[in-house]
Chain A
Amino acid sequence: MNSDTPGKENGAETFSAARREKEVQGAVNFEHALDSYQPKKNHYNFYFTYKIVHPWWDAVALGMEDAQRQYLKKGITVTYEYMAPNAASAADQTEKLLSAQQGSYDVIGVDVADEAIISPMIDEMVDSGYKVMTFSSSDAAEGCKRIAYVGNTHNYKDGADLTEALCAKLNYEGEVAILVGSKGAPCHEDRAKGAKDTIAKYGNMKLVAIEYDMDSVELAHELALKILREHPSLAGIVCCNMSNPVGAARAVVETGSSAVIVGMDHDQEALHYLDDGVIYCLGVQDCYSIGFETLQTAVKIADGNLPGEMFPEKRDEPTTIIHQKDAAFMLAFLYGDAS
């Protein structure tokens, strides 16, 4: 995770505004070009399944569409399905993968909903001759036979970094709650684990609650309200996915709590809360690059290539922690939102 020294407390304001803007813009790369690889076919057809219908994966989809357009300009059509359930579900993902096996897809891409359930299935598919890759937020379990992974490889560290920032802000004391996304989703679970381990390092920090919002803002809001009711002196909330910080911020504003929120991702509402100082910091992932590289890697895998010089077995995309002073830049950069 690319982490800036946080906020006013330690003098990080020596950064000039222009430098801040440049660094914030470095968090997400919208300028991509296909590499020099020459695809072997003129048409590719892929199937991608991801955890949940959610703006985070919509951002990934835009990167994929950019690559798709660039292939089209080269005379190569890439068609694909990009499917997810409305609520994270390993069962639904299993169904989708079974269905995908009936289709004629060059590559099947999986954002693993539950590594314990999906990883063995991926192994079976690979053994059956299907070309399977993992992408975006969650890789399969260690040792899985998937061909390659493009996405966040440092979810544990993201959770630990955010929690470390929170602990420092709280002077390493106080009650803390953790909001997690979908149960079993590796990215969310890894971040939660990173958060728990960090809290455990400090004797005066106490973990008082862990809740799963199943990637629903509304549920995150309800859970945060519940936690704040049960722990009125709550000092901080660690949010492990994109919906968590929005729900938590709404609850903190409603209750007037002084709980410090740290969380993940680039939700527009969350960025406004960051701008207003309700959220202390956010870890922004480069979804666009994840999408672009996923499609480019899928084309290479479809042509029978394996990880090596052409593409890595795990392609990492960075996470950048941003603070209040960066929020306006990020809102303008991601959404053209200067309001």
Chain B
Amino acid sequence: MMKDKHISFSDKSFVLTAVIGSLLVMAVVIGTTLWASKETAAETDEAVAAVSHFYLEAMADRRAKIITNLINNNFEHMEKLLPMIAEEGIDSQEKLRAMIGKIKALLSLRRFALVDEDNVVYTQYTTYTGGSRHTFLAADKLNKRVIRTVYRYGSSKQLCLAIPTDGLVLFGKPFKACFVQIDIEEIASLLAFDDPGRTYFGLYDRNGVNLSNTNLGSIVSRQNILEATRDILPKAEWEKLCSDFADEEHGGLTFAFNGAEETLYYVPIPDTDWMMVILIRESIINDQIRGISDKHLEISNLQIAVTLGSMMLFAAALLWRLWKISRMKLEAEMKNSRAFQSMANTDSMTGVRNKHAYSEDEAALNRKIMGKELEKLAVVVCDINGLKVVNDTKGHAAGDKLIKDASALLCESFIHGAVYRIGGDEFVILLQGKGYDTREETIRSLNQKIEGNIATDDVVISMGYSVLKPEDELLYDVFERADQMMYERKKELKRMGAKTREA
């Protein structure tokens, strides 16, 4: 018992310490994991923004370079062609047209033309006065390469590249320039992305006019980019975008619209007054890096869930153990209580109820009698005949045996009664229920047996009994009558030859 108590106390302390410790560890693990996840997400966002801009800048620069190369290549082609044209001996408009046709086919040019000093333009099929159509011809003489954006009637936009043709004279006419004119939509087709649904680009002039007729996502679409973003961007960002366009500065910005994040980057294309704008919707990089980040977050969340689950299982096990220990302790205490109770109410020699038990039961019965809750109750008072003689003549061991035999006889006879040893040789039996109903028969049968025992010198018990009467106020009233009857019976048995104290 002492050992159990010691273990329970230790277990409880251990369990409590373990539970509190576990909760603390769990809180720390979850807290740090969440903090780490949040930090990772924030750093990822920063990295995404930086990489996105870097990525977009690289894409924009690459495409700007393509345009620059295209421009330079066309200039170089024209510059190399001029001496060939001069040496060709062209002496008529027809020969010049044929030559232009060859050059166009050779260089895959849509429009290649020469311009004489009167601003008459010669193409493969047409000769026309072009002073108002080609603004670069406003100057009497060209001194250097010219790059012009042509806003053609009919809304198509073209890139015009012209060079001076100093000294070129064909069929007697001095020529001042040659030029190629390239549809900007054709240039745009060279710059297209593989994933047009996610990455967009557009070529714009400094006023934001879309030159390439390309779709810059759903927000800007084919509109003027400055007009389209006016109500979407914060004022300061929009003004910066406008000033960057006007000053031909590169830059980038990220904005959200209708729940989607758009990142755009713009770079000026040298010598053209153009801006190359790249826009990524829900950036690919963003997605990819976010994907990695999200995976880490998922792992962290899983870690938290596993930790939480493990800790909960552990805590549940500990709580169960604690509950079990408490229950065991409670049961032990109850058992001890019952044992003490039993010891207090049991006669150690005979095993029947003792005087203390009788007193408790008497008190309980008295409450019922006083409350008129009881109708059937009989009290049998018994006294062992000849106990003193046996003690004196045969010793106390024999006396004790007599008492045990008497007790056993009473217990065997009053199966449905409560047997109490209230003194050395005195017993009381309380009869209720079936024991009450069969009392007459039981007592008669027992008395016959006792009377038979006189001759065999076996156990002789004097019994008297009485039943509860309506006028009785206490059990003692019934006891008194039974006790009186028992003394009468004792006399009667004496007459029959039973031993007495005196004998």
- Which residues from B are CB-within-8-Å of A30? 154
Contact among B151, B152, B157 for A62, CB-based, below 8 A? B152
CB A226 to nearest CB in B, in angstroms, measures 25
Task: List residues of B (188-222) whose CB comes within 8 Å of A's CBs.
Answer: 207-211, 213
The answer to whether the Cβ of B129 comes within 8 Å of any Cβ in the partner chain is: yes
Expressed in whole angstroms, the Cα–Cα distance for A155 and B375 within the complex equals 136
Shortest beta-carbon distance from B137 to chain A in Å: 10
- Chain-A contact segment, one of B12-20, B119-127, B430-438: B119-127
Report chain B residues within 8 Å CB of A82.
126-129
Q: How many A-B residue pairs have CB under 8 A?
A: 82
A333-B155 contact, Cβ under 8 Å, with A61-B133, A79-B125, A339-B209: yes
Alpha-carbon gap, A339 to B154, bound state (A): 16
A residues 57-75 in Cβ contact with B at 8 Å: 57-59, 61-62, 65, 68, 72
- Complex alpha-carbon distance, A62 and B155, angstroms: 12
Q: Is the CB of B132 within 8 A of A55?
A: yes
A336 at the binding interface (Cβ < 8 Å): yes
B131 at the interface (CB under 8 A from A): yes
Q: A interface vs B, CB < 8 Å? A: 30, 53-55, 57-59, 61-62, 65, 68, 72, 77-86, 266, 268, 287-288, 332-339
Interface of B is mostly: loop
The distance in angstroms between the C-alpha atoms of A84 and B128, with both chains bound, is 8
* Closest CB in chain B relative to A135 CB, distance in Å: 14
- Do B153 and A336 touch across chains, with their CB atoms under 8 A apart? no
- A58 near B133 with CB under 8 A, answer yes
B326 on the interface (CB 8 Å rule)? no
Name the CB-closest residue of A to B131: A53
**A268 to B150 CA separation, bound complex (whole angstroms):** 13
Chain A residues whose CB sits within 8 angstroms of the CB of B227 once the complex forms: 338-339
| Cα of A287 to Cα of B130 in the assembled complex, Å | 17
Residue from A53, A78, A81, A337 within 8 A of B209 (CB atoms): A337
Q: Contacts of A339 on B, CB cut-off 8 Å?
A: 207-209, 224, 227
How many Å lie between the Cα of A55 and that of B119 in the bound state?
A: 14
* B208 contacts across to A, CB distance below 8 A: 339
Q: What residues of B have a CB within 8 angstroms of the CB of A53 in the complex? A: 119, 129-132
Q: Are A83 and B155 in contact (CB under 8 A)?
A: no
- Once the chains bind, are A336 and B209 in contact (CB under 8 Å)? yes
Smallest Cβ distance from B472 to chain A, in angstroms? Answer: 112
Question: Given A55-B133, A339-B209, do A68 and B125 touch, yes or no (CB 8 Å)?
Answer: yes
Residue among B125, B132, B209 making CB contact with A338, cutoff 8 Å: B209
Q: Within 8 Å CB of B133, what residues of A?
A: 55, 58, 61
Least CB distance, A36 to chain B, in whole angstroms: 23
In the docked arrangement, what's the CA distance between A79 and B94, Å?
A: 10
Tell me, in angstroms, the Cα distance from A326 to B495 when the chains sit together. Answer: 148
Out of B97, B125, B128, B151, name the residue touching A61 (CB < 8 Å).
B128
Q: Give the distance in Å from the alpha carbon of A30 to the alpha carbon of B128 in the complex.
A: 21
Query: Residues of B contacting A333 with CB < 8 Å?
Result: 155
A268–B132 contact, CB under 8 A?
Answer: no
Q: Which 4 residue pairs across A and B have the least CB separation, nearest first?
A: A336-B155, A82-B128, A338-B224, A339-B207
Q: Contact at B129–A288, with CB atoms within 8 Å?
A: no
Cβ contacts under 8 Å, A54 to chain B = 132
Residues on A with beta carbons closer than 8 Å to the beta carbon of B130: 53
Taken together as a complex, chains A and B put the C-alpha atoms of A336 and B183 apart, in Å, by: 14
Query: From B211, which residue of chain A is reached at the shortest CB distance?
Result: A336
Find chain B residues with CB under 8 A from A81 CB: 126-128
Q: What are 29 pairs between A and B in contact, CB < 8 Å?
A: A30-B154, A54-B132, A55-B132, A57-B132, A58-B132, A58-B153, A59-B154, A62-B154, A65-B126, A68-B125, A68-B126, A72-B125, A77-B125, A79-B126, A81-B127, A82-B126, A82-B128, A82-B129, A83-B120, A83-B127, A86-B129, A288-B153, A334-B154, A335-B152, A335-B153, A336-B156, A337-B151, A339-B209, A339-B227
Bound CA–CA A291/B342 (angstroms): 127
**Contact residues in A for B128 (Cβ distance below 8 Å):** 61, 81-83
Given A53-B131, A72-B125, A83-B128, 19 extra CB contacts under 8 A: A53-B130, A53-B132, A54-B132, A55-B133, A57-B132, A59-B153, A61-B128, A68-B125, A79-B125, A80-B125, A81-B128, A83-B127, A85-B129, A266-B153, A334-B153, A335-B152, A336-B213, A337-B209, A339-B224
B500 CB-CB contact with A under 8 Å: no
Give Cα distance in the complex from A61 to B132, angstroms: 12
- For the complex, give the distance between the alpha carbons of A178 and B141 in Å: 37
B223 proximal to A (CB < 8 A): yes
**Smallest beta-carbon distance B215→chain A, Å:** 14
- CB pair A78–B125 under 8 Å, yes or no, is yes
Query: Which residue in A55, A77, A86, A332 is a CB contact (below 8 Å) of B153?
Result: A55
- Residues of chain A lying within 8 A (CB to CB) of residue B97: 79
Closest-CB distance, A267 to chain B (whole angstroms): 10
A82 CA to B227 CA, complexed, in Å: 39
Q: Which residues of A contact B129 (CB under 8 A)?
A: 53, 82-86
A272 vs chain B, min Cβ distance (A): 12
CB distance from B86 to the nearest CB of A (A): 23
Chain B residues numbered 406-431 whose CB sits less than 8 Å from any CB in chain A: none
> Nearest Cβ in chain A — how far from B204, in angstroms?
10
The reply to whether B151 and A268 form a contact with Cβ atoms under 8 Å apart is yes
Name which residue of chain B comes closest to A65, CB basis: B126
User: Nearest-CB distance from B188 to chain A (Å)?
Assistant: 13
* Chain A residue nearest to B121 in the complex (CB): A82
For A332, the chain B residues whose CB sits under 8 A away are: 155
The residues of A that contact B153 with a CB separation of less than 8 Å are: 55, 58-59, 62, 266, 287-288, 334-335
Residues of A within 8 A of B132 (CB): 53-55, 57-58
